[in-house]
Structure 1
Amino acid sequence: MTQNNSAGDSGLQESFLSHLYELRDRVIKSAIAIIIVFVSLVYWAPDIFHLFSQPLLQALPSGGKMIVTDVTGSFFVPMKVTMLVAFLIALPVVMYQLWAFIAPGLYQHERKLILPLVVSSYSLFICGMAFAYFLVFPTVFEFMASYNAPLGAEMSTDIDKYLGFAMNTFLAFGITFEVPVVVVVLVRMGMVSLAKLKEIRPYVIVGAFVVAAIVTPPDVLSQLLLAIPMILLYELGLLIARFYEPKPAADEATAGDTDPQATA
């Protein structure tokens, strides 16, 4: 009995270590992909940062410019922006490595669902960032610049502060655009019914404005630019979730699937 327990523990430990080694290899491959893209882009880091800062530069008054208050800011800030771009370009590779790691432990119907979710999540996140860059940034910067003229204040922003603001805004809008994916997953997995999500619509609308007030600058315009898309995307998620709502027949077919660990 003791020998059987020891053999079982040894097999479990070996299985855990093999998964750990595979995870390490996947992480290394993902990091290599990001580094390769970064090295390919690093020569154009100043140009990438200039493109990145265009929404603010266009909102500055005539003769206005960005400033550097940190000794190393003029070097590290463009590098950080280039690394962000490299990560976004290499993100499909990172997602593939993640998919390859978790796929053996998924049922067949789950594998069919994961791929569309990953593609849609990546696409929606990029759309959220594009929405922030092309619409939110110019609108907010011009709105804030209009407040400086009556004060006689010169608008000069430190490049590091601008990077922090842009990163937070990109993250906020990128996550916001994931709302349809979250709604579809909740309905498809049976965690929340579609009828319940429709019922809590008023609370979602209030929550959207609360979230917008927390993560955006303290002006009504930028809050509306985040809250309104969040509400519309929630409605889009409800519309799409109608096609993924589990049905009794689908549940019976799902119950017939075999455990992937048992068939391994």
Structure 2
Amino acid sequence: MKNKTVLVTGSSRGIGKAIAIKYAKEGYSVIVNCAHREDELLAAKKEIERYHVPCLSFLGDIGDYDVASELFQQIYNTFGHLDILVNNAGISYIGLFTEMSSDDWHKVIDTNLTSAFNCCRLAVPNMISRKSGKIINISSVWGSVGASCEVAYSASKGGIHAFTKALAKELAPSNIQVNAIACGVIDTEMNGFLSDEDKDSLIDEIPSNRFGTSEEVGDLVYQLTHGNEYLTGQIITLDGGWI
């Protein structure tokens, strides 16, 4: 491995952390980020460094363009370039649409969608200059079909799908591939609010008869960013046959 770099946003825990660790195992220099959980972010950094790779951690809300700019300034100052961008930062909101405030709406959209714009806007010029790069956007099946009581979340992920397809077309001539993974139910803290009964009921709906794991998402992300230069603009569903 020759100084390959990957940024995984929202990587202090769950899917993002699993993705970051997968790349560390493969010898990548890794940049991890989250908005609030500094202790967990530093713990993730320490775990990544056990694989004897450089790791840069950055605490900040990348839904804010100025904050994202500070992150990328640190990346370029430290590593000089970015090979792979994984836009994983995301939050959920579950509740009736009629009870959702404007502030709640903007928080979901900024975290799930605007952050991807910010990071891509800051990563793409460097990738274009090098005629090389991979962008993976972590999404959800609700971006394809929508979910009751998750209107803002579904809208943000539907936006990610359209964003992925459009950006892929624009960047293909520069040998930059952009794809998204639409996750089904992954066994993470985000689903911790479910009761055991609710989990059992949900598993009954999934043909694979289980939740997915963060490590499975990490493995798929890694696979998509190696070779596959003709694969771009795709929304790849990872849901055990659920939807």
Pairwise same-fold verdict (TM > 0.5)? no
- Higher RCO by CA contacts (8 Å cutoff, separation 6 or greater): 1
- TM bucket (normalised to shorter chain) is under 0.3
What TM-score do you get using the length of structure 1 for normalisation? Answer: 0.24
Relative to total residues, which structure has the larger strand share, 1 or 2? 2
* Greater C-alpha radius of gyration: 1
